[in-house]
């Protein structure tokens, strides 16, 4: 059976001890008072210091303030991949992508993934557990003060853990602390329809990206086995409903995989869905994954053919080459290699 968007992971869903980073400003104020909550938020998120007040609050309420230990780093020309340890012995990846306009944090939302995308390393071992809000927040904080964008495109399906992901976004955007603009936050999802309906009712001003990758349900089931209960038409209807409610276009990522989703019929369906609508199509190449032999990287000619046809049909389209090929930055590979090298 495919995982539902509320399905439980096969192991514990919470780390052994709750962290002060899990708490919103209001939750800390309820435990203490607004002035103390302000001190804690400024210390943790602006000054990045563990002060006496922070230690007292944590000790009083049996909360930890421990940072996620950095287990490994791989550096490329524009990307730096970090492997962070978690309190239960698991690990997750976070990638920093540096551009002239700042640095983007590509963060994880789960340990593993239940949806097992065939082209991705993240879900090769299934889902272990959800990340807590604090574990998500700390990935951003540990990358430093130059982070001005956050994308939920790391390990895991964000809308499978939407309560904790949205809690983390609220903490990061709180102006009394980190004050990150939600205009710089993107949730990238395969689009579970029920979770899209819940997201539609949130008012956070974020960006929405749908990992589409197919125009035919049978092909999408092959590429994303865990999404076989989600019809493509439902995913598109749900995301376009979000776009209409919030007045923001949706980005649809289409990983061009020769021999799988590159036919004229695929092009016709993309045009039929997105011409003259609040939508943008990002065409991408595949980042090779260790041990995966089914897929080839699209060449320039194929990318140009798709882009030209879509643009001519009034579909906003761009070709986005993946970053980090020089450090095997496809999601989950650093974690997967470490899991293979460390005895269980």
> What are the 10-residue block averages of pLDDT along the chain, 344 residues in total?
57 67 98 98 96 98 95 90 93 92 94 88 82 97 93 96 98 96 94 97 95 96 91 97 97 95 97 97 84 79 97 96 50 49 43
For the chain, the distance separating the N- and C-terminal CA atoms, rounded to the nearest angstrom, is 28
Task: Pinpoint the alpha helices (H) of the chain.
Answer: 25-31, 34-41, 52-60, 133-142, 162-173, 193-200, 217-223, 232-246, 264-274, 300-312, 333-341
Cβ-in-10-Å burial (0-12, 13-18, 19+) of 254 comes to buried
Query: Which residues, other chains included, contact 279 with Cβ-Cβ below 8 Å and sequence gap of 6+?
Result: 240, 243, 249, 250, 251, 252, 273, 315, 316
DSSP state for residue 183 in the 8-state scheme: G
Please report how many Cα atoms fall inside a 13 Å half-sphere around the Cα of residue 9, on the Cβ side.
23
The tokens describing 30, both together, are 């309820």
For residue 320, give the nearest of 256, 250, 274, 270 by alpha carbon: 256
Catalytic machinery residues: 93, 331
Q: How far apart are CA 220 and CA 269, in angstroms?
A: 14
Q: Find the Cα–Cα–Cα–Cα dihedral 245, 131, 140, 64, rounded to 10°.
A: 130
Residue 92 to residues 88, 98, 180, Cα–Cα distance (Å): 12, 20, 22
What pLDDT was estimated at residue 328? 47
Q: What strand order describes the sheet that includes 185-189?
A: 70-75, 79-85, 91-99, 102-106, 147-152, 185-189, 207-211, 250-255, 279-284, 316-319
What pLDDT was estimated at residue 126? 87
Residue 60 to residues 63, 67, 68, Cα–Cα distance (Å): 8, 19, 21
Kindly report the pTM of this predicted structure: 0.89
Q: Does residue 118 sit in helix, strand or coil?
A: coil
Q: How far apart are CA 132 and CA 22, in angstroms?
A: 7
* Angle ∠(28,88,178) on CA atoms, nearest 5: 35
What pLDDT was estimated at residue 239? 98
C-alpha 16: how far from chain center: 23
For residue 91, give the nearest of 333, 344, 335, 337 by alpha carbon: 335
What pLDDT was estimated at residue 312? 98
Q: Does residue 201 sit in helix, strand or coil?
A: coil
């Amino acid at each position: 059976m495919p995982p539902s968007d509320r399905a439980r992971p096969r192991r514990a869903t919470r780390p052994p001890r709750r962290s002060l980073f899990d708490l919103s400003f209001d939750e800390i104020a309820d435990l203490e008072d607004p002035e103390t909550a302000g001190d804690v938020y400024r210390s943790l998120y602006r000054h990045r210091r563990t002060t006496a007040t922070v230690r007292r609050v944590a000790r009083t309420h049996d909360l930890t303030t421990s940072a996620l230990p950095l287990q490994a780093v791989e550096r490329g020309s524009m990307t730096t991949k970090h492997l962070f340890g978690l309190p239960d012995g698991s690990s997750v990846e976070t990638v920093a992508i540096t551009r002239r306009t700042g640095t983007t944090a590509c963060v994880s939302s789960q340990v593993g993934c239940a949806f097992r995308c065939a082209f991705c390393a993240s879900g090769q071992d299934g889902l272990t557990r959800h990340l807590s809000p604090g574990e998500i927040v700390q990935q951003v904080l540990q990358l430093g003060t130059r982070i001005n964008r956050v994308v939920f495109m790391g390990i895991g399906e964000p809308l499978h853990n939407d309560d904790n992901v949205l809690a983390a976004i609220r903490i990061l955007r709180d102006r009394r602390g980190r004050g990150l603009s939600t205009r710089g936050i993107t949730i990238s999802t395969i689009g579970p329809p029920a979770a899209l309906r819940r997201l539609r009712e949130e008012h956070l001003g974020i960006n929405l990206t749908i990992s589409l990758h197919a125009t035919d349900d049978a092909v999408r089931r092959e590429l994303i086995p865990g999404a076989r209960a989600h019809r493509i038409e439902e995913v598109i209807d749900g995301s376009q409903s979000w776009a209409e409610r919030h007045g923001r276009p949706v980005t649809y990522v289409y990983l061009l995989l020769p021999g799988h989703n590159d036919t004229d019929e695929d092009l016709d369906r993309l045009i039929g869905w997105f011409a003259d609508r609040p939508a943008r199509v990002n065409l991408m190449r595949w980042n090779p994954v260790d041990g995966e032999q089914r897929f080839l990287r699209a060449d320039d000619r194929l990318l140009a053919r798709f882009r030209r046809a879509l643009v001519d049909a009034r579909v906003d389209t761009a070709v986005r080459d993946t970053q980090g090929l020089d450090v095997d930055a496809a999601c989950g590979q650093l974690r997967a290699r470490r899991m293979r090298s460390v005895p269980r």
